[in-house]
Every structure is written in structure tokens, then in C-alpha cells.
Amino acid sequence: MGDWIARSGKRLTAIYATHGHGDHWFGAPELVKRFPDAVTYATPGTIEVMHQQATVGRREVFDKVFPGLIPASPVDAVPVPSGGILLEGNVAQPVETGHTDGDHSTVLHVPSIGLVVAGDVVYNGVHQYLLETVNGGLREWLKGLDRVEALARRAVVASHKNRNRPDDQSSIDETRRYLLNVERLLAEKSTALEFFDEMVKLYPDWVNPGPLWYGALGLIGE
């Protein structure tokens, strides 16, 4: 990513973390080392989750799955200024969406060009991370999608995306339908395998089924 930024001829001024999951920001300190004018921004809620991911999350998940591969991850993010992030004359403003695939999720909205950088609130052709949807999380995620749908938007960029699909706003409703199918099948299926197999039948072209499987194990059990 650093090489791509350098080739672009642009000056990196801001990095924005839509939420606190480590796979979305562990690389930010390395980019700041290379581009020292850049500031990492997040909302206070996201910063709270980042601290958890930098400690407990790393010990229990990331450093086990990727041993020795993740650099030091100090939490150097600061809250977004009240007026948003100004980029080439356009204001990029965080919008709180509540709990979606994790706590304190947000999207970054650029009203002047109808852009929604959707983080993990919206998925696009990818099986969704469900492990943190217990105790009402699915319903909260659906409310978060309603908040995104209420924004002025022409393009919706999902973090987890099949690269062959367009950044279309229809991905909001696709994400919603996926969650509604999850909710229905959780009530109908008694084992994780039955649930997983049915979801894969419904979404044969969706990529990355791993999170669907361990989500099924976490929500239903073996």
C-alpha cells in the first residue's frame, strides 16, 4: 500500500479507521512511519476497541494466526475533528452505525460526491463475519444498514469485497438480505454444518466462507 501511495504522486494526510478490528488498522503505524505527515483518525468508540485489539485481540487471535508477521501496533489514532476530515476541498465525516460486525462501527461519508466508505458495515460478495452478532447483534447490524441507506450516496465501498464487483449501493440491501437469511436459518438449523451448508447454497458465488464457518460454530456450536 505504501508503494501504491508513493506511485500516485499524492500526499497522504489522513488514515481513517472505520472500526477497531485489527485487520483494518494494524498497518497504520507502518504507513505513518513512511509518510510522517499523515494522521490516523478514528472515533472515540473505535479507539476504545483498538486498544482491546492491540492487547487481548493480538494475544488471543492475531498473533496465533499470523505468528511473527504483524508489526508493533501502538494505538496512535486521534478523534476526528468536529468539522470532519478535509480532503481536496471535500469534507469526509464519520457516521456512527453502532454495532455491526463489531462494536462501535462507523462509515466515512463524503456528501459532496455521494461516497460512503462503508468499512465492515456493508459487505460486497463476501461471506460476513458473524461471530460478534450474539445477544441481538444481528438486529443492531440491520439498524446500522438503515443509517447507511439514509445517507446521500452514489458509491458504497465495502472493506470486504469481491474485487470483480462494482461499488454499488445495492450492496447495502444485499448485506441486509444476507443477515435476514442468517437470522432465519439460525432458528431453523440445529447444527453448525447444516446452517453453513444452507448459507453456501444460497450464496454459491460469495467468497471467503471461513468467517461463515467459524461464525456458525460460535453461534450454534458443533
pLDDT in tens, 158-203: 999 999 999 999 999 999 999 999 999 999 999 999 999 999 999 9
Nearest alpha carbon to residue 76 among 111, 36, 108, 106 = 36
pLDDT < 50 positions in the chain: none
* Three-class DSSP category at 22: helix
Q: What is the pLDDT of residue 3?
A: 97
Going 2 to 47 to 95 to 119, the CA torsion angle's sign is positive
pLDDT in tens, 88-97: 999 999 999 9
Nearest alpha carbon to residue 150 among 166, 172, 171, 168 = 172
Q: What is the pLDDT of residue 222?
A: 77
- pTM, 2 dp: 0.95
